[in-house]
Amino acid sequence: MSTRQSVLLALILFPALPVNAQYFRDPNHLVHHSEKSFGNKLIRGSAYSLGYNAVIMTTLILSPESISQWDRKEVFKGAAMKEQYLLTFTTPPVKDHDLFLVNYVGHPYQGSFYYNAVRSQGAPIWQSSVFTLIHSLLWEYVWEGGLEQPSIQDLIVTPLGGIIVGELTHRAALAMGRNGFKWYEIILTCILNPAFAINNGFRRPVCAGN
């Protein structure tokens, strides 16, 4: 991601961040399912991610070949997919030639969805990060593994960008909901952090003792 794009993302997210950073460190701050075990969050987060991946895969299948980089006449044949899966698991990842927007906007956004699939349930940063890494690998090796060779860029950018963008958008969503979501904040959250919207809706965040 270029410096200009990083600055643009910061300008988008900055207005949503609270002045008092102590708000983020409040252990009593609750979201839906925060009291559940990580195993429970893992199952729910995986279900969210499964639905998300299905939507993305369908979009890629229907998109122009210039975006997916797949030759539809060959890539979906059973023999071709079997051969590609064999290559996927027996040869190293390669540098892909996807569009810049796909690699450096789409994949960080995808990773941020994985991250917030459990972070929005109150999972700590480290658990959310591990979850993001696992689902990034599943996307490259399972979902796309029969269609193309895993991408070096995607294996790095999806989890790393996802963790950074995911935490920023998680904090932004909490900040916007601190006193209740305004209509434009609802739209912004649905765009930037759909996992939060799915898991928590737009009620005012609850604090223990309130």
Q: State pLDDT tens for residues 134-181.
A: 999 999 999 998 888 999 999 999 999 999 999 999 999 999 888 888
The residue among 116, 104, 126, 110 whose CA lies nearest residue 167 is 116
Q: State the Cα–Cα distance between residues 51 and 143, nearest whole angstrom.
A: 12
Query: When comparing pLDDT for 89 and 38, which is higher?
Result: 89
**Mean pLDDT of all residues in 64-70:** 79
Whether residue 188 lies inside any domain: the answer is yes
Q: What was the pLDDT predicted at 108?
A: 96
Q: Which of 172, 142, 119 is nearest to 9 (CA)?
A: 172
* Confidence band, pLDDT 50/70/90 cuts, at residue 206: very low
Q: Return the ∠ at Cα 139 (arms to 190 and 50), rounded to 5°.
A: 50
The pLDDT mean for the chain works out to: 84
Please report the pLDDT score of residue 19 as a whole number: 38
Q: Residue 30's pLDDT is what?
A: 58
Nearest to 161, CA basis, from 114, 92, 99: 114
Give a yes or no: residue 175 inside a domain: yes
Is 133 inside any structural domain? yes
pLDDT-based confidence at 74, cuts 50/70/90? confident
Question: For 183-207, what is the mean pLDDT?
Answer: 86
- How many domains, in total, are found in the chain? 1
Task: Kindly state the average pLDDT of the residues 1-15.
Answer: 49
Whether 165 is covered by a domain: the verdict is yes
168 falls within a domain: yes
The whole-angstrom separation of Cα 153 and Cα 94 is 8
Among 58-62, 63-67, 75-79, 103-107, top mean pLDDT goes to 103-107
Higher per-residue pLDDT: 64 or 7: 64
Q: Return the pLDDT at 109.
A: 97
% of the chain beyond a pLDDT of 90: 57
Q: H or E element: which one contains 30?
A: strand 29-30
| Residue 26 lies inside a defined structural domain of this protein | no
What residue numbers bound the domain in which 98 lies? 42-58+72-207
Does 63 map to a domain?
no
> Which range, 4-8, 68-72, 138-142, 180-184, has the best average confidence (pLDDT)?
138-142
Is residue 27 in some structural domain?
Answer: no
